[in-house]
């Protein structure tokens, strides 16, 4: 059995537009943001002030923001966006 690809989650700082911050995912050195149309690729460096989240914290963020939890399993592989 193979292990699933490691995905790390982050949350950006709160802003007026996003009072709970935005959910980010890091996979194989590529950063993505969760957007209404799914995961959108960002630059490779981590935004200033972002904080690391555990998978459980990312699930809590999704539940609080009414995002489906299955999206956490759909972070794309670099080159497949």
- Per residue in 53-75, pLDDT (tens digit) is 999 999 999 999 999 999 999 99
Whole-number pLDDT of residue 7: 94
Predicted structure pTM score = 0.86
| Lowest-pLDDT range of 32-36, 42-46, 55-59, 64-68 | 42-46
Report whether pLDDT(51) > 70.
Answer: yes
Contacts 24+ apart (CB under 8 A), 32-36: 32/75, 32/76, 32/81, 34/67, 34/71
**According to the model, what pLDDT value does residue 80 have?**
60
Domain boundaries, the chain: 7-73
CA atoms within 13 A on the CB side of 15: 9
């Amino acid at each position: 059995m193979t292990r699933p690809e490691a995905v790390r989650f982050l949350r950006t700082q709160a802003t007026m537009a996003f009072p709970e911050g935005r959910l980010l995912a890091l996979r194989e050195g590529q950063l993505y943001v969760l957007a209404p149309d799914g995961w959108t690729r960002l630059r490779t460096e981590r935004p200033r002030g972002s904080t690391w989240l555990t998978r459980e914290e990312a699930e809590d963020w999704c539940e609080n923001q009414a995002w489906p939890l299955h999206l956490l399993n759909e972070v794309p592989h670099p080159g497949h966006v």
